[in-house]
């Protein structure tokens, strides 16, 4: 374990998952490289009612407070550690992951830092966890999902579970965040395992 993680946030619906994941993950890594797409900023602002825009984008504006160990890197900045396989890290999580970004990863179109870092995770046989959200799915999307799984990625769809009877939206969202934690080998005490 290197204590380093790359995290991407795209413009799929589900900013709550990113918000809750990053805050918690920051307690477990020394360095989180955070890549946020332009469209993710818009969705974050809309869904979480945050005062965040491309003009004022920062960890503070995204999360409403500073989050330790999280460094924002520009989506179009390749001169940064996540762009290279020579930089050791524990992998990458994209939460939520749009079908656009998933399709670019599936087809090797690494035209920005998000897709390049995902490419790097796959070529270096590191964890690449994608949390897609779309409904309904077309055949192209399903084929792209199959392609990234075949290439070594793990797909954790943003499909919250109800069997723990969540009492609010945060608890519901945490059923997805907990599955990401589980696949990063992190403790998931905030959302208990079934029947434990």
Residues near ligand FMN (CB under 6 A) are 10-13, 37, 39-40, 43, 46, 98-101, 133-134
Closer residue to ligand FMN (CB): 61 or 98: 98
Closer residue to ligand FMN (CB): 41 or 59: 41
Closer residue to ligand FMN (CB): 134 or 174: 134
Closer residue to ligand FMN (CB): 82 or 188: 82
Per-residue tokens: 91: 């992998």
Min separation Cβ 85 and ligand FMN, Å: 22
- The set of long-range contacts for 179-188, using a CB threshold of 8 Å and a minimum separation of 24, is 180/21, 180/93, 180/95, 180/129, 180/131, 180/156, 181/24, 181/25, 183/127, 183/129, 183/154, 183/156, 184/5, 184/25, 184/28, 184/90, 184/91, 184/93, 184/127, 184/129, 186/25, 186/28
Min separation Cβ 38 and ligand FMN, Å: 7
Min separation Cβ 61 and ligand FMN, Å: 17
């Amino acid at each position: 374990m290197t204590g380093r993680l790359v995290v991407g946030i795209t413009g799929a619906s589900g900013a709550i998952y990113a918000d809750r994941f990053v805050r918690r993950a920051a307690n477990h890594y020394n360095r989180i490289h955070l890549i946020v797409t332009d469209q993710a900023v818009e969705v974050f602002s809309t869904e979480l009612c945050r005062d965040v825009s491309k003009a004022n984008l920062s960890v503070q504006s995204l999360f409403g407070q500073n989050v330790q160990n999280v460094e924002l890197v520009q989506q179009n900045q390749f001169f940064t550690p996540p762009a290279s396989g020579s930089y050791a890290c524990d992998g990458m999580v994209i939460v939520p992951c749009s079908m656009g970004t998933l399709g670019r990863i599936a087809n090797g179109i690494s035209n920005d830092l998000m897709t390049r870092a995902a490419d790097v995770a796959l070529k270096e046989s590191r964890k690449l966890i994608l949390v897609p959200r779309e409904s309904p799915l077309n055949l192209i999307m399903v084929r792209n999902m199959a392609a990234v799984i075949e290439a070594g990625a793990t797909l954790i769809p943003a499909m919250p579970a109800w069997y723990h009877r969540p009492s609010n939206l945060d608890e519901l969202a945490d059923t997805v965040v907990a599955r990401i934690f589980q696949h990063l080998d992190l403790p998931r005490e905030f959302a208990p395992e079934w029947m434990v």
